[in-house]
Amino acid sequence: MADIANLRTSAETGLSTLFETARKGFGSDKAIDREEAFRFFEAAGLPSRRVEAFKYTDLRAAMQEAAPPADAPSLDVAKAAVASATAFSAIEAVRLTFVNGHLIRELSDLDRVPAGVSVSPLNDALSQGDARLKNLAPVAQARENPIYQLNTAFLADGALISVEAGAKVETPLHLRFVGAGTEGFSTATRVLVEVADGAEFTLLETHEGPNGLTYQPNDALDVHVGKHAAFRHARINREGDKAIALSTISVRLDDESRLETVNLVTGAVLSRHQIFMHVAGENVNAVVNGATMLGNGQLADSTLLADHAAVGGVGREMFKTVIDGDATGVFQGKIIVRQMAQKTDGKMKSDCLLLSDEGQMMNKPELEIFADDVACGHGATCGAPDQDLLFYLMARGLPKPIAESLLVQAFVGEAVESVTHEGARAALIGEIEAWLASRG
């Protein structure tokens, strides 16, 4: 069997070639060890379904060719692309715009970041040897992950965001990622967010791109939430219908900190969103949600690792998936409670509605518990919409599609209800409605 694994696919060979080219452009900075990351990636190759963590999302089979790293677009191309990007656009926010994985300074609000926040483009930070770079990649399990390794190896652009201790920042920062062009490409971006002790910060993130374009975005978010600090995050994946979208959040939580993150997926032919959460401090409170709505041909994978390594953490994870057409939903969630993490209270739930006979849902919720004084649980359900409820609504005069839409909206809506930022919550609900409307 060993020899089969060693047979390199065209995409794997392509990635090696691309890396050879890309490395010539790397600066002499020591903060990011791209070489090491690629070495680790190359040793194992693209993960296939034989790799347990990719059992349901066979990247080796899905990624047939490696797309070359995108060049920075011209300002005109970038402007045109941004004009069509609408996700979260109605919200008053400070925006950083990335087109094809490159920060477009002219279309970013670098000069008007709110008080208490500082933003540096990643490339500036690298050339200046910014001290904050040592805080990249805060979670060990992420560093062992092939998607994250690829991101590190090809890392081209990004930003460093710091929030001062005690700053309660009301205006959210919006990371707007847009894809454009006619030729396939790949991106690798990394944003580091440091929320210092006692600070509060909201980050919005959107990913959009044109249909018909085969592109491969790979974005990573490294977050460190300090003591008594709060980090709130809402993300929309509305990538084009041929995109293979890979994303990773790795977040380290200190004492008494709060995390709120939600990811809403309607886009990409294949997407995998990974969350590595490391509960490093005591009495942390984390809400991690996902809302996924898929139609024909799509596959979306949400993979979560909640690693409790400190006393008294409370984790609430809720993932809602709606499957239409022949789409596939994947949820893999693992709660680890280490021996020192007594009094951990972890609840994880994954629910799926199958709207068509061709759709499928793969659920793998796991518990790995080494502490005895805990209350942990997970639940998973899967099935068609409740026929009794449907009948009830129809008996009140609603046509079936409307009745079904109402039920679906209520079902998915639960995952975004907990979003603190009102505008973001409303926009997420809008996304859900728009998806239902487009279903017809």
Partner 1 sequence: MPAVQETIDRVRSIDLDQYKYGFETTIEMEKSEKGISEDVVRFISAKKNEPEWMLAWRLDAYKRWQTMQEPDWARVAYDKVDYNNIYYYAAPKRPAAMSLDEIDPEILKTYEKLGIPLREVEVLEGIAPERRVAVDAVFDSVSVATTFKAELSKAGVIFMPISEAIREYPDLVKKYLGSVVPVTDNFFATLNSAVFSDGSFVYIPPGVRCPMELSTYFRINERDTGQFERTLIIADKGSYVSYLEGCTAPKRDDNQLHAAVVELVALDDAEIKYSTVQNWYPGDNEGKGGIYNFVTKRGDCRGARSKISWTQVETGSAITWKYPSCILRGDESRGEFYSIAVSNGMQQVDSGTKMIHLGKNTTSRIISKGISAGRSQNTYRGLVSAHKKASNARNFTNCDSLLIGDQCGAHTVPYIESKNASAVFEHEATTSKISEDQKFYCLQRGLSEEEATALIVNGFVRDVLQQLPMEFAVEAQKLISISLEGSVG
Q: For binding to partner 1 (CB under 8 A), which residues are involved? A: 1, 52, 339, 342, 352, 354-357, 359-384
Minimum CB–partner distance for residue 374 and partner 1 (Å)? 6
Cα 316 from Cα 51, distance rounded (Å) = 27
Is the distance from CB of 66 to CB of 154 less than 8 angstroms?
A: no
- CB nearer to partner 1: pick between 222 and 301: 301
Minimum CB–partner distance for residue 266 and partner 1 (Å)? 20
Minimum CB–partner distance for residue 3 and partner 1 (Å)? 13
Minimum CB–partner distance for residue 148 and partner 1 (Å)? 23
Strand partners, 124: none
Supply the angle between the helices 146-153 and 34-44 in degrees, to the nearest 10: 140
Cα 333 from Cα 348, distance rounded (Å) = 8
Tokens representing residue 32 in the block:
């990011």
In terms of DSSP bridges, do strands 157-163 and 117-121 run parallel, antiparallel, or are they unpaired? Answer: antiparallel
- CB nearer to partner 1: pick between 12 and 282: 282
Minimum CB–partner distance for residue 354 and partner 1 (Å)? 4
Cα 23 from Cα 12, distance rounded (Å) = 16
Minimum CB–partner distance for residue 431 and partner 1 (Å)? 23
Cα 9 from Cα 116, distance rounded (Å) = 48
Calculate the dihedral angle through the C-alpha atoms of 15, 175, 86, 418, rounding to the nearest 10 degrees: 110
Which H or E run contains 425? helix 422-439
- CB nearer to partner 1: pick between 52 and 111: 52
- CB nearer to partner 1: pick between 362 and 390: 362
- CB nearer to partner 1: pick between 185 and 331: 331
* Contacts with 52 (C-beta within 8 Å, 6 or more apart), sequence order: none
- CB nearer to partner 1: pick between 195 and 335: 335
3-state DSSP call for residue 76? helix
Q: Give the angle subtended at the CA of 253 by the CAs of 250 and 254, to the nearest 5°.
A: 150
3-state DSSP call for residue 117? strand
- CB nearer to partner 1: pick between 362 and 393: 362
Cα 175 from Cα 166, distance rounded (Å) = 23
Minimum CB–partner distance for residue 84 and partner 1 (Å)? 34
Q: What one-letter code names the amino acid at 220?
A: A
- CB nearer to partner 1: pick between 140 and 375: 375
Minimum CB–partner distance for residue 362 and partner 1 (Å)? 5
Minimum CB–partner distance for residue 55 and partner 1 (Å)? 8
Which H or E run contains 38? helix 34-44
Which H or E run contains 391? helix 387-395
Minimum CB–partner distance for residue 265 and partner 1 (Å)? 19
Strand partners, 47: none
- CB nearer to partner 1: pick between 382 and 390: 382
Buried b (16+ CB within 10 A) or exposed e, 292-310: bbbbeebbbbbbbbbbbbb
What are the helix (H) ranges across 105-233?
122-128, 140-143, 146-153
Minimum CB–partner distance for residue 4 and partner 1 (Å)? 13
- CB nearer to partner 1: pick between 172 and 333: 333
Residues written for the chain: 440
Cα 73 from Cα 77, distance rounded (Å) = 6
C-alpha closest to that of 163 among 111, 104, 226: 226
